[in-house]
Copies of this chain bind each other. A is one copy, B any other.
Amino acid sequence: MDLNHIGEQAREAFLASATADSAVRVKTINKIAAGLEVQRAAIKAANERDVSAAMKAGLAPALIDRLTLTDARLDGLAADLRALAEMPDLLGETIERRTLANGLRIRRVRVPLGVMGVIYESRPNVTIDIAALSIKTGNAAILRGGKETIRSNKALVEIVHDALAAIGLPVNTVQFIPDPDRALVEGLLRLNRWVDVIIPRGGSALHEFCRDHATIPVITGGIGICHLFVDESADQDASLKLIFNAKTQRPSVCNSLDTLLVHEKIAGEFLPQVVAALATAGVSFRASPRAAAIVGGDAVQPAGPEDFDTEWLSLVLGLEVVPGLPEAVDHIARHSTHHSDGILTGEPENADRFVRSVDSSAVFVNASTRFNDGAQLGLGAEVAVSTQRLHARGPMGLPELSTYKWVVEGDYTVRE
């Protein structure tokens, strides 16, 4: 595969897509949604071949579940596309406008981000998701999905290409690398001549690989070591329910709770309630020496040296007792991945201090860390959750797939 050629084609397609009318983009996305319905038999046949190959290869049931396209999932995808198509179009918007003393009229105008390299694992829904997001936002995308779903992805990309061609956008607005050769991923990561941003969608290993090998800015994220601090003034009953939610509602994702910090003044009363309530849901605990002095039993183990630096992604919760808010903030500064951290408190002043001092993509006051998510925060669509600080932080929606250009108009104005 000639990656340089793919990159050049993406850039060409981008220049045409970026200036297409909003209505054309809307039509194309709706056409893809219709394609998912009309071509359902072909998609499912391709997907079944991926699934049976994965079973033969002995993939874990959770992974096989992720790569399976059921009727319900395809219906969901089509509905998501139609909702995305109707979202507001921000391109061309004037972000800022000024006139200078020398008469220059300056504005910053919103334009698409460019060519995105998107690298993801074996979730064929991401293929459709990113294709549609790219078309909606006037960007071009080069997709590289996991090798276990290559047949499904090919079938899905064909639907995308048919829709682009039918409505009249360049087919290369969305390109897919169908070759499973791993070297192509590294090649894509170094295609800085044509690609403007790399967006990994997957676990921490994928994010780190991209960051370490790319010569293009990478939107890293995906790792959440998340904390809640229960202040002495917190409503304990309500806190218990919230902690239960943050830990157990979906433990396998990055915004689930990893470590609970409890103020020492209430730890003796509150920690045993936490252990009793969460153990009923199968949670086990890793307790610091101070926490272990308060709670025990089958579900509680002493915390090992790495435990407070571990993203559990499962029904495990770290427990620590702290003398107060400054020590809670300090613990978070040392152990958080700056994804989602919060305080439970009855004191507005403590909430303010916590919010000012904790440097995470989302800081929560009396709310579950599970809300750090594009849909939950009302963004309509989520591209990624960023824990790096450049361009976008936390959940990224459609506006985060844009940038701006300066437009400077004069009357044959020269610099003195």
Residues of chain A having any CB pair with chain B under 8 Å: 15, 18-19, 98, 100, 104, 106, 109, 111, 113-114, 192, 196-197, 211-212, 215, 217-218, 235, 238-239, 241-242, 245-246, 249, 333, 342, 344, 351, 355-357, 359-368, 370-372, 376-378, 388-391, 393-395, 403-415
A412 near B217 (CB under 8 angstroms)? no
- A-B contacts, 5 of them at CB < 8 A, read A15-B333, A104-B367, A114-B389, A196-B389, A370-B415
Q: A15-B333, A364-B410, A393-B405 are in contact. List 10 more A-B contacts (CB 8 A).
A: A104-B377, A106-B378, A109-B355, A113-B389, A196-B388, A249-B415, A361-B405, A368-B414, A368-B415, A372-B406
Given A113-B389, A390-B196, the answer on whether A362 and B406 have CB atoms closer than 8 Å is yes
* 7 A-B pairs closest in CB distance: A367-B410, A238-B412, A245-B414, A391-B391, A362-B406, A217-B217, A370-B415
| Whole-angstrom CA separation of A355 from B364 in the bound complex | 42
Instruction: Decide yes or no: A413 and B215 within 8 Å by CB, A406-B377, A407-B355 being known contacts.
Output: no
B414 touches A241 (CB 8 A): yes
Among B211, B217, B239, B408, contact of A388 (Cβ-Cβ < 8 Å)? B217
Smallest CB–CB gap between A193 and chain B, Å? 11
Chain B residues whose CB sits within 8 angstroms of the CB of A409 once the complex forms: 351, 364-367
* B415 in contact with A365 (CB, 8 Å): no
B242 near A414 (CB under 8 angstroms)?
yes
Contact B359 A406 (CB under 8 A): no
The one of B19, B98, B370, B377 that contacts A106, using a Cβ cutoff of 8 Å: B377
Using A15-B333, A389-B113, A391-B391 as known contacts, say yes or no to A412 and B378 having CB atoms under 8 A apart.
no
> What's the minimum C-beta distance from A92 to chain B, rounded to whole angstroms?
8
User: Known: A351-B409, A408-B365. Is A390-B393 also a contact (CB below 8 A)?
Assistant: no
CA distance A410 to B363 in the complex (A): 11
For residue A362, which residues in chain B have a CB less than 8 angstroms away from its CB?
405-408
- A411 nearest in chain B by CB position: B366
Chain B residues near A197 (CB, 8 Å)?
Answer: 389-390
Q: Which of A218, A367, A376, A395 has the most CB of B within 10 A?
A: A367
Min CB distance A375 to B, Å, is 10
Q: Are A357 and B19 in contact (CB under 8 A)?
A: yes
CB–CB B406/A394 < 8 A: yes
In Å, the complex CA distance between A391 and B217 comes to: 10
Q: Which residues of B contact A235 (CB under 8 A)?
A: 412
Within the complex, the shortest CB–CB distance from A361 to chain B, in Å, comes to 6
Taking each of A111, A218, A410, which has the highest tally of chain B beta carbons within 10 Å of its own beta carbon? A410
Least Cβ distance of A227 to chain B in Å? 14
How far is the CB of A395 from the nearest CB of chain B, in Å? 8
Identity of the chain B residue whose Cβ is nearest the Cβ of A103 in the assembled complex: B367
Complex: how many Å from CA A245 to CA B413? 9
A101 to chain B, nearest CB (A): 9
Give the chain B neighbours of A404 by CB distance below 8 A: 393
CB pair A410 B114 closer than 8 Å: no
Q: Which of B212, B344, B365 contacts A215 (CB 8 A)?
A: B212
**Cβ-defined contact, B363 with A390, below 8 A:** no
